[in-house]
Amino acid sequence: MLNPVTPDFEDTLRALLPATAFKEDNTPYVSEPRGRWAGQGMVVAPGSTDEVAAVVRACAAARVGIVPYGGGTGLVGGQLQQEGPAPVVLSLERMNKIREVYPSENVLVCDAGVILADVQKAAEDAGRLFPLSLASEGSARIGGLLATNAGGVNVLRYGNARALCLGLEVVRPDGTIWHGLTRLRKDNTGYDLRNLMIGAEGTLGIITGAALKLAPRPAGIGAALMAVPSPAAALELLAMAGDQIGEGISAFEIMHRQGFDFLEEVGPEYRQPFSDIPEWFVLIDVGLPAGLSPEEALEGLFASAFEAELVTDGVIAQSNAQRDAFWHIRENIPEANRRIGSVSSHDISLPLSAIPAFIARGKQALAEVGEFRINCFGHLGDGNLHYNVFPMPGRNRADYEAKRPAVKCVVHDLVHAMEGSVSAEHGIGRLKVKDLETYGDPAKLAMLRAIKDALDPLGIMNPGAVLRQN
């Protein structure tokens, strides 16, 4: 049984940390982007790993829960605790230093509270690339991104957050520090604790530092929007792109015209690239070494795909500004979705070959529940779709609240039946705890619980996230 933060416990923490570590207004730390969750708790922002350890030791002694807080951009409630005894909300925002950059090793070491965009800039200043990229990169922090094993647009080429991390520094649930900040690429000395902590969503410890993999910066970058007649054609185009361009493909995104319609309806403003908006289109981004032309590579791909009837129209960026305009469309679709207000949003992944059938069957199944607009888009290159269901024009999501559970059930049941995952890149948090229980393999769930109980026997680390609180 956990205890709430009390005035006496607040005094204990104030004796351990400087005044700058305390946030008198916790409002920004108890809300989330979609407005579906509200949290609670006392906010503290330690400035060092030792200060984090001191807070954790105090919480363990008093049996007070800890909710780690990064940039607050999570979409499944992992950074918010609505119910139960009020916890300590431990923000990493003051731990925001780039500790060291090793350009010749392609490694950057930083605090867990560094914002992703700042890591990208530090890598660029060193002539390198940190390829993790997503819409919230201006506010998401490295610790949270690793704790949720974030994905983003470049997973096809560079992998997700897990693949971009070499070592970690972690404060364990008893307040001791695991000094695992290795820069080694080969280290077979026992269990892989790094990968255990990545994706654990703060339920096994608090990430305070990371050694991140960098990559060479491509000499030439380019992008193209290509209209495709169907999702099946988009998959064939992906295979053709792989054959012709190889690992030079950085991202391969699929979008439906519903995304354009939402942008037209509520913004943000964008520049229309097609004379006639296609039903389906893909955004292909490439990065090539010196001596190879991205424009020529994309032109060759378009010519081959047009001849094979895989594309019907296309626009190839002729400048970095035009490439940015293409990405502006993709990156603002989630904002348009937010302004419309979804009935139910789904972050799912499927075997690539199952995606066309899922899209067709999902539309049919939802039609039996009611009349909706569906905005299906996402990272086709790695099988991750953002399959979001919206009200019809003139209505809002409140009108559909009674149907929301049925919509979610229809989508997730179909994903599970087609051997997919109901959480591709956003994590479990608190929103999907029941989904994990419903669709998770019983043996896996038993192992997850055994690990949690072994490493966090008091249950103080992000209680109720990923696994239901005992």
| CA–CA separation, 461 and 42 (whole Å) | 15
Which residues in the chain land under pLDDT 50?
Answer: none
| CA–CA separation, 400 and 369 (whole Å) | 11
User: Which residues neighbour 235 within 8 Å (Cβ) at sequence distance 6 or greater?
Assistant: 352, 353, 355, 356, 380
Residue 170 CA from chain centroid, whole number: 21
The DSSP code sequence of 380-431 is: GGGTEEEEEEEPPTT--GGGGGGGHHHHHHHHHHHHHHTT-BS-SSS--TTT
Longest dimension (CA), the chain: 74
**Residues 399 and 388 sit within 8 Å (Cβ to Cβ):** no
Three-class secondary structure of residue 271 per DSSP: coil
| CA–CA separation, 81 and 94 (whole Å) | 22
pTM of structure: 0.95
* Of 322, 231, 319, the residue nearest 271 (C-alpha): 322
| pLDDT (tens digit per residue) in 136-186 | 999 999 999 999 999 999 999 999 999 999 999 999 999 999 999 999 999
Per-residue pLDDT, 137: 95
Per-residue pLDDT, 407: 98
Per-residue pLDDT, 35: 73
Three-class secondary structure of residue 439 per DSSP: helix
| CA–CA separation, 198 and 194 (whole Å) | 6
Per-residue pLDDT, 46: 98
| CA–CA separation, 8 and 14 (whole Å) | 10
Per-residue pLDDT, 31: 86
Per-residue pLDDT, 336: 96
| CA–CA separation, 184 and 219 (whole Å) | 27
How many CA atoms lie less than 13 Å away from 352 in the CB half-sphere? 15
Taking phi over 0 as left and psi of -120 to 50 as alpha, with beta for the rest, 239 belongs to alpha
Q: Tell me the backbone φ, ψ of residue 180, rounded to 5 degrees.
A: -110, 30
